[in-house]
């Protein structure tokens, strides 16, 4: 089985690393603060309704201003961030002296998107499609505009001024033709499209894709999405990085639709909402592993699984499940293929049953993915009474699915540990017989105070490492999929550095977030879950002459749990 997954992995990695898929994913990640920020105001305005409290209309309207002018313009911002991320990727193919200006690309993309998406009315304009319903159109604009700029800059189709002209003024004229070309192309397209269809592009896209939206909310569609994420992860490729870009527009649109239904006093019925992926399909992380660490912690008999349980139950509670995935391991371990795929599918099908059959309100608020899944489900459904029942049922069902497989695997490891212990005891017995003699008696006569031990290589290495970081300033950036495990590793390094007075500082980011930080770093550590992005990242680190270091799964988890090992790892790779 592992051979099959090894053959499939390169193809999946190629999809995840594709610059257009990456631009969509990273552009969306950049706008996550907008979604979370706006949801805070939405929850303040409407969550109290669950307990029968309603704000006065003027208070609600005031709270909604922050939501309407952030989430209500989400697609406009996404058009810019997507374009910016693709521009950064395209610039890697151009000389350093002739680069596309990302700021100009952002402006042109947002102008083009406004032209395509505003619906003129008799009095004023309809901004409906500037928000969640315009996301797909925003992605299209964000992927096309940078290519128009790239063609112009690469072929020097620009206005060139004499070298005596200041650089900032010269850049303005250099951007003029690419910007004019991009905006004109979309303006002409918009005029022609309206004449041909009688509507604007984002509305037409929603109409055409409405069957896909409905299909994604079916039992089969939800199962495919949940199972695909787990399958890709099982093969060693971070599943959400492949699946999420394809379904984010649907999830965000459905979340907004659920909220509109709830505000209108009707049932919030769309199952595939934004946090459905985070809290239901990925209940505790991809594969719905929330219960796994606790099963190992309280029921495992083998030393290996008990150790993994102790290390993993806290991060696992916050959906950081890499300690489980790499520590057991689950990835590419045939023992866990079935429960790893089946559990998220069962969870989301149960959730759909609760929503569509039992009448529970679906998810209508967006919370950070690191909120513990049981709490996140309760909050994002507006504390629907049936949500409490669903959470308890999901915990029980997930335990029932995973427990038999963990028990069998635990028994296998326990037997191996006993066999290894027996062999070690036998070897130690032979060694003690062979070495027993005057030396043993001499050793036993020495008091502990008189024993002088030579420094071990580890002690010497640790001392040399600390001396290095006391003399040299080193900045490290750790990148993982969501910023969870990278944050743990960065915190371990920063804590050790502070305690020992070292000139080492570490930062953590989700891959695609604040990538401009790389140019100010000495080293970038890439988490194993983002191995598929190694080649893309190397182009960036090479551009800024920054050291790129990759890690294996178990090695990475060891580094997050041991600051001294992490420090030695950084020093040895520098």
Active site residues: 480
Question: How many residues belong to the chain?
Answer: 574
Comparing CA positions, the residue from 348, 296, 349 lying closest to residue 321 is 296
H/E segment holding residue 408: helix 385-435
Omega before 329 within 30 of 0, i.e. cis: yes
Distances, alpha carbon 93 to alpha carbons 88, 155, 183, in Å: 10, 13, 24
Query: Pairing relation of β-strands 119-120 and 125-126?
Result: antiparallel
Question: What are residue 560's phi and psi, to 5 degrees?
Answer: -70, -25
Comparing CA positions, the residue from 66, 34, 36 lying closest to residue 368 is 36
Distances, alpha carbon 446 to alpha carbons 331, 431, 434, in Å: 50, 22, 21
Quote the CA–CA distance of 233 and 243 in Å, as a whole number: 11
* CA dihedral of residues 485, 490, 496, 502 (deg, nearest 10): 160
What are the strands, taking DSSP E only, across 266-371?
Answer: none
Please identify which residue in the block is written with the tokens 């374009």: 83
Q: What angle, rounded to 10 degrees, do the helices at 102-117 and 201-216 form?
A: 90
The gap from C-alpha 410 to its chain's centroid, in whole angstroms, comes to: 30
Q: Count the helix, strand and coil residues of the chain and give each as a percent rounded to the nearest 5.
A: 70, 5, 25
Distances, alpha carbon 318 to alpha carbons 230, 244, 276, 336, 444, in Å: 18, 19, 15, 21, 51
Using an 8 Å Cβ cutoff, are 355 and 301 in contact?
no
Quote the CA–CA distance of 427 and 419 in Å, as a whole number: 12
3-state secondary structure 253-296: HHHHHHHHHHHCCCCCCCCCCHHHHHHHHCCCCCCCCCCHHHHH
């Amino acid at each position: 089985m592992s051979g099959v997954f090894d053959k499939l992995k390169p193809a999946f990695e190629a999809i995840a690393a594709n610059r257009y898929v990456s631009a969509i994913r990273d552009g969306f990640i950049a706008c996550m603060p907008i979604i979370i920020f706006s949801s805070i105001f939405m929850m303040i305005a409407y969550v109290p309704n669950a307990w029968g409290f309603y704000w006065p209309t003027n208070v609600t309207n005031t709270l909604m201003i922050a939501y309407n002018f952030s989430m209500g313009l989400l697609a406009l911002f996404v058009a810019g961030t997507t374009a910016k991320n693709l521009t950064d990727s395209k610039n890697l193919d151009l000389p350093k002296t002739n680069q596309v200006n990302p700021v100009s690309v952002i402006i042109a993309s947002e102008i083009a998107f406004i032209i395509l998406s505003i619906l003129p009315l008799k009095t004023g304009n309809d901004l409906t499609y500037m928000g969640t319903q315009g996301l797909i159109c925003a992605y299209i604009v964000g992927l096309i505009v940078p290519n128009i700029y790239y063609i112009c800059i690469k072929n020097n189709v620009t206005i060139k001024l004499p070298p005596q002209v200041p650089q900032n003024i010269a850049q303005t004229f250099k951007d003029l033709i690419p910007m004019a070309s991009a905006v004109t192309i979309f303006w002409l397209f918009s005029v022609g499209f309206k004449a041909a269809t009688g509507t604007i592009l984002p509305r037409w896209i929603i109409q055409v894709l409405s069957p896909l939206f409905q299909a994604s909310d079916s039992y089969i569609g939800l199962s495919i999405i949940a199972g695909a994420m787990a399958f890709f992860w099982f093969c060693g490729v971070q599943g959400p990085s492949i699946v999420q870009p394809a379904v984010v527009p649907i999830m965000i649109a459905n979340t907004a639709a659920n909220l509109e239904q709830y505000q209108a006093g009707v049932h919030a019925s769309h199952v595939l909402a934004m946090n459905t992926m985070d809290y239901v399909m990925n209940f505790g992380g991809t594969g719905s592993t929330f219960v796994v660490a606790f099963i190992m912690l309280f029921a495992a008999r083998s030393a290996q699984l008990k150790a993994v349980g102790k290390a993993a139950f806290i991060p696992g509670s916050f959906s950081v499940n890499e300690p489980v995935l790499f520590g057991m391991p689950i990835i590419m371990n045939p023992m866990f293929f079935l429960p790893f795929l089946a559990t998220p599918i069962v969870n989301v099908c149960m959730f759909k049953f609760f929503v569509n059959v039992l009448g529970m309100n679906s998810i209508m608020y967006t919370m950070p993915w690191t909120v513990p899944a049981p709490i996140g489900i309760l909050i994002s459904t507006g504390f629907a009474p049936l949500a409490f029942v669903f959470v308890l049922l999901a915990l029980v069902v997930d335990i029932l699915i995973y427990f038999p497989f963990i028990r069998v695997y635990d028994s296998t490891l326990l037997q191996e540990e006993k066999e290894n212990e027996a062999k070690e005891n036998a070897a130690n017995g032979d060694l003690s017989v062979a070495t027993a003699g005057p030396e043993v008696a001499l050793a036993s006569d020495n008091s502990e105070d008189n024993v002088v031990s030579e420094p071990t290589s580890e002690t010497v290495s640790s001392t040399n490492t600390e001396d290095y970081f006391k003399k040299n300033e080193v900045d490290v950036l750790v990148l993982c999929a969501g910023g969870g495990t990278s944050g743990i590793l960065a915190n371990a390094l920063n804590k050790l550095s502070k305690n020992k007075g070292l000139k080492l500082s570490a930062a953590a980011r989700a891959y695609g977030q604040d990538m401009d930080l790389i140019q100010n770093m000495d080293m970038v550590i890439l988490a194993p879950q983002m191995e598929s992005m190694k080649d893309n990242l190397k182009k960036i680190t090479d551009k800024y002459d920054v050291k790129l270091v990759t890690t294996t799964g178990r090695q990475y988890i060891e580094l997050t749990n041991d600051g001294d090992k992490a420090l030695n790892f950084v020093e040895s790779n520098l």
